[in-house]
């Protein structure tokens, strides 16, 4: 990979919040589920009713991003032409987190479902030590500090977005922390039922471990983990798209060789 060539997705506001950085996912999930909501603020840049809340369990204070959105094509508002079967749902944030962990990516912050203002909502761990969003980086033309690792993470984002058929990877939905690690947030408009790849052109390179995990992605395990948040059709579509992604990369490897297509990022994590 050529140095200083930065992969961008096409076309965000960060906040630095003190938190328990060494906690496991399970500890963060427990905190998000049980800590008391002390304050509610509106999140920067957002348009779909995301709130930033401050939680405390008496010892630890940390923020979460809360979404309660639950729209279908029937109750959707707005001027853009309706997408058949349109949905925008808080529960998809949990599905994205579960799928991320199934694949061992660790790029979606811990998410749980909990009541907020009398409605169900997703609570997502506020990323520690936010440097900026990808939108801010892109607009300010900031060169990532570790371009190779950056590009490798960005290729993982691209593959993940095709896997989940994400309609809304706007660049405010990628958060960069102080170690130049990328975090994927806001998956309310993903998980379409279509068994096809949305943007094949985004499938250029693939992490070696990710490709093998996609190859082995087990339908029964997907259903066991995701059926509470998604419909059976949405889960089947993930499996179908995983197969299409694997097929696409296998064909690319055959044509160009492994060295051109595969790289190792997750192996070292």
- By the criterion CB under 6 A, which residues form the site for ligand ATP? 12-14, 43-48, 50, 65, 109, 124, 126-127, 130, 133, 170, 172-173, 175, 185-186
Residue 186 within binding range of Mg ion, rule CB under 5 A: yes
What DSSP element (H or E) covers 244?
Answer: helix 232-256
Neighbours of 148 (CB within 10 A): 15
State the residue number with the nearest CB to ligand ATP. 46
Smallest distance from the beta carbon of 108 to ligand ATP, in angstroms?
9
Nearer to ligand ATP, 64 or 217 (CB): 64
Nearer to ligand ATP, 153 or 170 (CB): 170
Nearest residue to 173 (alpha-carbon basis) of 115, 109, 110: 109
- Choose from Mg ion, ligand ATP, none: what does 234 bind? Cβ within 5-8 Å by kind: none
Neighbours of 52 (CB within 10 A): 18
Site for Mg ion in 143-182 (CB under 5 A): 172-173
Smallest distance from the beta carbon of 182 to Mg ion, in angstroms?
15
Q: How far is CA 156 from the centre of its chain?
A: 10
Smallest distance from the beta carbon of 180 to Mg ion, in angstroms?
20
Q: How far is CA 195 from the centre of its chain?
A: 20
**Those residues with Cβ within 8 angstroms of residue 59's Cβ, 6 or more apart along the chain or in another chain:** none
Smallest distance from the beta carbon of 132 to ligand ATP, in angstroms?
9
Residue 122 within binding range of Mg ion, rule CB under 5 A: no
Strand segments, DSSP code E, in 29-110 are 36-42, 51-56, 61-67, 70-72, 87-89
Q: How far is CA 189 from the centre of its chain?
A: 11
- How much of the chain is helix, strand and coil, in % rounded to 5? 35, 20, 45
- Choose from ligand ATP, Mg ion, none: what does 47 bind? Cβ within 5-8 Å by kind: ligand ATP
User: Taking the C-alpha atoms of 74, 75, 79 and 85 in order, what is their torsion angle to the nearest 10 degrees?
Assistant: -40
Residue range at the interface with Mg ion (CB under 5 A); choices 129-137, 185-193, 207-215, 234-242: 185-193
Smallest distance from the beta carbon of 155 to ligand ATP, in angstroms?
21
Beta-bridge mates of residue 70: 89
Nearer to ligand ATP, 136 or 234 (CB): 136
Residue 134 within binding range of Mg ion, rule CB under 5 A: no
- Choose from ligand ATP, Mg ion, none: what does 144 bind? Cβ within 5-8 Å by kind: none
Nearer to Mg ion, 103 or 185 (CB): 185
Strand segments, DSSP code E, in 159-256 are 174-177, 182-184, 206-207
State the residue number with the nearest CB to Mg ion. 186
In the complex, which residues of this chain contact Mg ion (CB under 5 A)?
172-173, 186
């Amino acid at each position: 990979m050529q140095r200083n060539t930065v992969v961008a997705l096409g076309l965000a506001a960060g906040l630095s919040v003190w938190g328990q950085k060494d906690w496991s996912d399970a500890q963060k999930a427990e905190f998000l589920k049980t800590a008391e909501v002390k304050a509610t603020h509106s999140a920067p840049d957002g348009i779909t009713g995301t709130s930033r809340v401050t939680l405390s369990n008496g010892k630890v204070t940390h923020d979460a991003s809360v979404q309660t959105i639950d729209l279908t094509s029937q109750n959707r508002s707005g001027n853009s032409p309706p997408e058949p079967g349109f949905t925008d749902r808080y529960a998809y944030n949990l599905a994205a987190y579960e799928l991320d962990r199934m694949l061992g990516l660790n790029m979606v912050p811990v998410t749980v479902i909990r009541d907020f203002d009398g409605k169900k909502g997703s609570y997502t761990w506020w990323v520690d030590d936010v440097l900026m969003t990808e939108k801010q980086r892109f607009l300010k033309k900031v060169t990532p500090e570790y371009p190779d690792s950056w590009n490798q993470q960005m290729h993982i984002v691209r593959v993940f977005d095709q896997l989940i058929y994400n309609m809304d990877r706007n660049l405010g939905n990628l958060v960069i922390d102080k170690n130049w690690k990328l975090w994927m947030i806001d998956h309310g408009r993903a998980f379409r039922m279509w068994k096809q790849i949305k943007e094949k052109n985004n499938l250029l390179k693939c992490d070696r471990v990710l490709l093998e995990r996609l190859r082995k992605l087990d339908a029964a395990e997907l259903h066991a983990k995701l059926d509470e948040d998604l419909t059976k059709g949405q889960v089947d579509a993930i499996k179908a798209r995983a197969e299409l992604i694997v097929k696409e990369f296998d064909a690319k490897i055959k044509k160009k060789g492994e060295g051109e297509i595969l790289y190792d990022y997750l192996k070292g994590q």
